[in-house]
Structure 1
Amino acid sequence: MSTHPDQAAIRAAALRIAPHVRRTPLLQLAGTELGIDNDIVLKLEGLQASGSFKPRGAFNRMLSNPLPPAGVIAASGGNHGAAVAHAARALGVPAEIFVPAITGAAKRARIEAYGARLVVGGEAYDAARLASEARAAETGALLVHAYDQPEVLAGQGTVALEFQEQAPDLTHLLVAVGGGGLIGGMAAWYAGSGVQVIGVEPEACPTLASALRAGRPVPAPVGGLAADSLGAKQVGALMFAVAREHVAGTVLVPDEAIRAAQRRLWDAARLPAEPGGATALAALLCGAWRPPAGARVGVLVCGANCDPASLAG
């Protein structure tokens, strides 16, 4: 596999992981239901196994490599860890997941429910990542990176393959950005298609915006409502090579817009979305991104691992 996934690598990943992941549905919502001018199409990756898009990349990484007796190791704010733990259980190997202290109790419980060993490795994701890499070197376990491995990007790109098959007339696609594996894989699939892929980031976690401004991945602030899922310190090198060529731009949204998007999804469609899962929609609802005339807009709702009580009110 090349370091930068192309359509052939993404198609191969889709075939490889098909027995283990769900083909998630779309939901069309009228703009009047959301208080905006445009009708939109949502892809509901919160209905994916383990509650987010992450099993796609986890399974592709694990099925593309020999699995050692020590099993697999990953660092995660929560969703990737749950996905790796789920994949490891399905494939019959042990998993050890390092999470930062900011990871919520619900996500920790989900990781442990899949049978993984949970380790708290520092205050933020980057500390957990360093701890996981040291542990992998010690044990010989296969490291499953949250976003910066070719197999992971190709696996996440299968979201775009499905989206294009299900909604071939899209002109614009809004995708939340953390470490960038999801948007990197999706932009690689849509490269040259004419579909504009737009990254949406919390103001408190501007990883891709900072990288594009600097011309390379650089450390960015980590904080705010969505830090447990979008709180990578900087974007991955592999996704950045894709993003600077094939991502049409990025927009930043405040935490209050993310919370409002969560509540709008719940009120309009009874869809639970964690803060990171609602971030892409927040760009439309708060006006941070305005679609041009005639646009046919798709929005990825990428995760649903939240406390349902947080959606009330």
Structure 2
Amino acid sequence: MITRDDVLAAERRIRGRVRRTPVMAVDPGTGDLWLKCEFLQLAGVFKTRGAFNRILAGLETGTLDPAKGVVAASGGNAGLANAYAAAQVGVAATVFVPETAPAVKVARLREYGATVRQVGQEYAEAYLAAIDFADAAGALFCHAYDQPEIAAGAGTIGEEILADVPDVDTIVVAVGGGGLFAGIAAAAEGRARVVAVEPTRIPTLHSALHAGEPVDVAVSGVAADALGARRIGTIAFDVAQRTRPVSVLVDDEAITAARTALWQDYRMAVEHGAAAAYAGLTSNAYQPAPGERVAVVICGANTDPATLA
């Protein structure tokens, strides 16, 4: 379980290490919709916040031995965040990714100086290999989404939104394993509602809320490289039980259309996972009430620009 206090502690720890990304009014005339441009974050992904929080906390507490470094498992983005943060702090990083990870992400991991190991066809297989490696090597394991420091770091996005748009009613976020959702929901609790948007082909939170507990789901679809967790994290599920988000699903066609719209309308080159939250609005999966003030988190830019029309 995390609370806003954890998010505020993360905000203090990572200050000066990450970018405070801008909030863009889509239509300044009406003032009802904003895009939180987190795709402009260092390493191109919101997960850089949680990675710095986890690594710096590890150094503070002594749970991270700089000589042994950190290890992460990732569909790509968590690995990029941890590789970047580790390089900035001066510790080694080993990142396990599926064999299906996009080549653009694998190349950037190596550019950041990480040792990359490709294992299995999906995140869950890379995760098990990373756990084994961390145990054997004594490295600090940095989870992609289900650790308090990781989720609290992501929650600093919510703090920035509520500082920049203090009368916002609703924050819309994409959900994979749920670290981003958990952090923002904890930060926004009692101040704004959270809409959790998931691909219909990877409904981790939606299925857990229906079942009353985290359950495994199949992993497929255009956003699987970023939102491809097999089940919702325990932290995210606990926060969802406490805060009761609005949960909506969007199909691959809606995600692809939203990604294209972000490029054509605003020249935002983002990955499919980052476009999923925006698809929640453009597909009408979530329909704001008249005058409802909504902020959408656009959370990742690690994509191949050649795939944008």
Q: State the TM-score, normalized to the length of structure 2.
A: 0.96
Structure 1 equivalent of residue 210 of structure 2? 213
How many residue pairs align between the two structures? 304
RMSD over aligned Cα, in angstroms?
1.4
* 3-state DSSP of counterpart to 1:263: helix
**3-state SS of the aligned residue for 2:105?**
helix
Return the match for 2:49 from 53, 56, 73: 56
Find the counterpart in structure 1 of residue 5 from structure 2. Answer: 8
Using the alignment, how far apart are the partners of 1:62 and 1:153 within structure 2?
13
1:98 counterpart SS class: strand
Deviation for aligned residue 1:196: 1.0
Deviation digits for residues 67-123 of structure 1 (CA, Å, limit 9, x no counterpart): 212100000011110000001100111100000122100011111110000001211
Structure 1 contact 199–247 (Cα < 8 Å) conserved: no
Pairwise CA distance, 1:248? 2.1
How far does residue 31 in structure 1 lie from its aligned partner after superposition?
A: 9.8
How far, CA to CA, are the matches of 1:31 and 1:211 in structure 2? 38
The reply on whether 1:96 has 2:89 as its aligned counterpart is no
Matches within 5 A, 1:39-188: 39-65=32-58, 66=62, 67-68=64-65, 69-188=67-186
**Partner residue of 2:187?**
189
Aligned to 1:237: 234
Residue identity matched to 2:141: L
Q: Is the 8 A contact 1:172 1:296 kept in 2?
A: yes
- What is the CA distance between 1:30 and its match in structure 2? 2.6
SS in 2 for 1:123: coil
Quote the Cα distance in structure 1 between the aligned partners of 2:144 and 2:38.
16
1:235 and 1:199 map into 2 onto residues whose CA distance is 12
Q: Which runs of 4+ in 1 moved over 2 A?
A: none
Which letter maps to 1:161? E
What TM-score comes out, normalization by structure 1 length?
A: 0.95
Instruction: Give the secondary-structure state (helix, strand or coil) at the position aligned to 1:257.
Output: helix
Q: Does 1:17 align with 2:10?
A: no
Distance (whole Å) between structure 2 residues aligned to residue 31 and residue 110 of structure 1: 36
Alpha-carbon distance between aligned partners in 1 of 2:161 and 2:114, rounded to the nearest angstrom: 31
What is the deviation of 1:55? 0.7
Pairing 1:209-288 to 2, within 5 Å after superposition: 209-288=206-285
Q: Unaligned stretches of 5+ in structure 1? A: none
Report the CA distance shift for 1:190/1:131 in structure 2 as closer, same or farther (over 3 A).
same
